[in-house]
Structure formats: structure tokens, C-alpha cells
Structure 1
């Protein structure tokens, strides 16, 4: 903070640029300053007078925890804000776009992108004050009124595309369940060479069978662990053993690996080439390991007798609805129930209740 002509202002190293004939500035700001310069009482300002969406307070603790738990290894993208026209840019030399940006303390600043990060930064600094010495980039646009700021928010967000669950799992090295899924995809049949690592679905003519995200979900179900749980080497060993054994007993998977049938042909005709079948197998695997911890490996062999063809009427209104594969949780559970019966696994009270409702 500096004082010039009796006016207090924030002073930031900055780069000046131009977009659509309008100036903008990329500044480096200490985290401790962020809560002070982005003050905003959304409860008193209706949506039509704001330049941002309401804060989803559920997201803030998760982002805060990420920041606090990874003080030496976090990454935050730049915040984007509109600032009133009375900012001053002082170039480091004549004609230079490198210099210092002066933002008066009383200047009105509207955040266009990053209000959840701003709130999380504020909470994280309370818990770990030393984070306040770190820096974050802030992209300042010169404000032309609230209408322009609202349009900026729309433009910034409508073109944003979230990465697919598979791609997120591929690149997320903090998520131990994603690490288990990656290891399975790279080392355990039937997944080796047949896993779609980037997309959330497998294309019709693709030479892949499963998505990385479906392997992750099915294995979470198998191990009875949520996405936020910690997955150990023992969990990976158990999952690897289970899926490798299942692979041995499913003839269709073996046929793909032997190049006797293409993955696209298998996906067209069989349920066990889709996430629904994979998650149902995960459910049955959990039941087997829970009820038969010493000999589940032997009991799983009966899977070889199951007719997985979509045309098989036993799947009607379970995995198949009106000739189409159903991905609902209820469909997966009903599919798992049929597999349990085939493997002579007693149904729990809850599973039996679902079965009774299905029959009526």
C-alpha cells in the first residue's frame, strides 16, 4: 500500500495489454490482499445488479482444504475483475507495457471470475496465515459499468468446459482412487489397451471397451469406498486380483483380447462391455468378498455361465429399458442382484426389498 497526493492505493507489479480496443492489466497480488480488494456483500445485492453468480458455500471448504493441505504444491489460476477507470499505470520506462498498477483503495472492484477462490483464500489464511505471503495473478479490466461486467461474466463462463471425469482421473495425482484406476488401466486385463483415458464415454466405433472413470467408479464400489477415501496398496492388490479373475471367467472379454471380436461389436451386443455391467460386477465383488472372504476366488467362477447378451430377456427392465441400456443406479443394483443369484450369493434385506419392488 502506498500514499500519493493524500490518496491511499494498492500498488502492484503489472503488465499492460489490450483486448477488443480496451486496456487490461495483469497484476501480481499477495494473497493477504485478495479478501480486502474483493469485498462484496452478495446478500444485499440482487442478481440483476451483480456481476457474478451467488457463492455456493458448499464449495468453499473443499477449496480451502486443498489450499491448506497443499501449501507447497497448490495451483490457483488468475482471478478476473473489473475495476473503475481511476486506476493509474506507471510504465517502468517510456512506452513500456511493464510497470506498476495503482488501484485506489476506495475504487469499486467487481469480481468476474473466481469468487469461490477469493472466499477460500480468505478462509485458508485464517487457518494458515503464512499463505498470505504467496501471490496470485489478477486480471484487471477497466470497468465500463455493471452491464459490461455482467457480460464479461457470461462470456468467461459460457465457453468454459469442464474436463471429462476420465481426463480428471488421468491427471489427478492427489486422488488415490484415481491412482488405483490408472494402475488397473495400465496393468490389469481386461483394461490394458482397452481403456478410454480421456473421454467420458466410448465412441461407437472405438477400439476401447471401458472409460477410466467407469473403472474408477466400479472399483470404488468393489472396495466400498467413497471418492474422498484413502486407497492403499492393499486396496490396489485386491482390486487387481478381482478384476483379473473376472477377466478369466468372462469369455467375451477374452474374445476381444484374442482379436476374435472387435470392442465395438462387443459393446453393441453385450452388457458386460459397458459401465453398467462393470459397476454391477463391482457390487457383486463387494458382496462376495464380504460374505466369503476365504473362498470368494472360487465362487466367482460361476460368472462364466451368465448370458450377457442385451437380447437376453432376463435383462429387461433391469439393465435394459425399451431396448436401450439404462445407466440409473436402480438398474445397476437390479443387474447386480441377478448376478448375485447366478453366483448363489444371498441378498441382503435391502437388496431383497428392491427385488420385490421390481417383481411387483
Structure 2
């Protein structure tokens, strides 16, 4: 056991020495399906530099992502720029084709799960979920570089090959359900039309109690 452990440490040292430079992320270590993964925070200015997306020319069976829909990007970037005080982006999910070394703060409890994640700069980062968010961040940074100091959550997995990356994409999107448009209007406090709509349903004697606030369709017996 000692020989095997020493061999792993030596292999990591050689890998790190060969690159010379590495990214270091504060991270939390977790386990899913018996595989380690790491959750961290990444400055927005680094997102376009380390997460590259150059698979547009590959056929679908050779990619691990859908083709980037560039028509979506201006609206996503505008969302960040127009709402600097309250925009929100969910985490990016990425596979790392390279040697990830996690150095924990201790041997027990929470200290064993928290620490520093070291990734060689020549490692390849493949986005499994969030490529449009990544591209929108790049577009927004060109207009407002000060956004670069803000952060986004990133979940790092070990790259286990194309088939595994394709399966991760399928699994991450399998159960995604777009919410009904009605509940989007109900919860949207930025859009003026949504505010007017809610006011009418709450104040008008004609509409009060007779508007379905959550679903976009009415059942046959709905009042």
C-alpha cells in the first residue's frame, strides 16, 4: 500500500513539474457515484480563458455538447450588464482532462473535504453544462471588464472520455423542465408588463380570484 501511494504521489509530482504552471482553486471535495468531484468559485475574468469551446466543426457524435446558439448570447450578456446588482447565474459543470490534485486542510471531518484544488494550465477543460453562460460572460466582460472580479460556481469532474462526457450532458439535461410562462410572469419583478398583470389580477374585481397564477393552461373544471 505504501509503495502504491508513493507511486501516485511521484506521478503527480512529475505531471505538475512537466507543466510548470497550474491553477489553484479553493474547493470542496464531494463524491457522486463513487467518483470524486470538486466545487469551487472562479473569477469571471478566468472563465473565457480556461473554458474554451471550439467543437462547432465536429459532427454530433464526436461532441460532448450541443452547438453553441450564438443568437442567445446578446440577451444573456445584456441580462448581466443591465442587472449588475441582482443578476444570478447557476454553476458551470466541467470535465478536466488532466491531473487534478486536491490538497485537503486536514484528515478528518470538514477539514478533509475542504482545501486547494491544483490543475495544470495545460489541462483541457470541457464544459458539460453552461456553455451559453460561459459565452455570455465573455461577451459581457468585453463591455464591462470590472465584472471580472465577480465569481461563478464551477463543479469540476475528472474527464473519463468522450462517452462519459456525452452521458453527463444527457443526464444533466434529461430532467430539465422549462417552467410555465404564467409562473414566470408571477415571479418576475423586473418586467413592467408582469407588474401590471399582477396588479390587475389582484385589484380588479373582474379578475380577482379568477386567474390561474401558476399554470399556463386551464383544466376543464377550473373556475
Tell me the TM-score range normalised by the shorter chain. Answer: 0.7 to 0.9
- Max Rg structure: 1
Aligned to 1:93: 106
Aligned to 1:110: 126
Indicate conservation of the 8 Å contact 2:181/2:216, yes or no.
yes
**Secondary structure at the counterpart of residue 177 of structure 1:** helix
Q: 1:41 aligns with which of 40, 51, 54?
A: 54
Aligned to 1:289: none
Deviating runs (4+, > 6 A) in structure 1? none
**Secondary structure at the counterpart of residue 43 of structure 1:** coil
Aligned to 2:21: 8
1:83 partnered with 2:99: no
**Secondary structure at the counterpart of residue 62 of structure 1:** helix
Superposition pairs of residues 153-302 of structure 1, within 5 angstroms: 153-206=169-222, 263=223
For structure 1, the 5+ residue unaligned runs are: 207-262, 264-360
Q: How many residues align?
A: 204
Q: Which structure has greater strand proportion?
A: 2
Aligned to 1:121: 137
**Secondary structure at the counterpart of residue 23 of structure 2:** strand
**Secondary structure at the counterpart of residue 140 of structure 1:** strand
Aligned to 2:33: 20
Q: Which structure has greater helix proportion?
A: 1
Query: How many angstroms apart in 2 are the aligned matches of 1:73 and 1:138?
Result: 19
Query: How many angstroms apart in 1 are the aligned matches of 2:211 and 2:119?
Result: 51
**Secondary structure at the counterpart of residue 156 of structure 1:** helix
What TM-score comes out, normalization by structure 2 length?
A: 0.88
Q: CA deviation at 1:151?
A: 0.6
- Superposition CA RMSD, Å: 1.3
Superposition pairs of residues 305-344 of structure 1, within 5 angstroms: none
Indicate conservation of the 8 Å contact 2:98/2:124, yes or no.
no
Aligned to 1:71: 84
Query: How many angstroms apart in 1 are the aligned matches of 2:174 and 2:62?
Result: 19
Query: How many angstroms apart in 2 are the aligned matches of 1:168 and 1:186?
Result: 17
Q: CA deviation at 1:85?
A: 4.8
Query: How many angstroms apart in 2 are the aligned matches of 1:46 and 1:109?
Result: 19
Aligned to 2:166: 150
1:54 partnered with 2:89: no
Query: How many angstroms apart in 1 are the aligned matches of 2:207 and 2:68?
Result: 40
Query: How many angstroms apart in 2 are the aligned matches of 1:204 and 1:100?
Result: 57
**Secondary structure at the counterpart of residue 58 of structure 1:** helix
CA displacement, residues 131-180 of structure 1 (integer Å, 9 cap, x when unaligned):
00000000111111011000110111120011100011111111111111
1:136 partnered with 2:152: yes
Q: 1:29 aligns with which of 30, 35, 42?
A: 42
Query: How many angstroms apart in 2 are the aligned matches of 1:189 and 1:201?
Result: 22
**Secondary structure at the counterpart of residue 106 of structure 1:** coil
Query: How many angstroms apart in 1 are the aligned matches of 2:70 and 2:53?
Result: 14
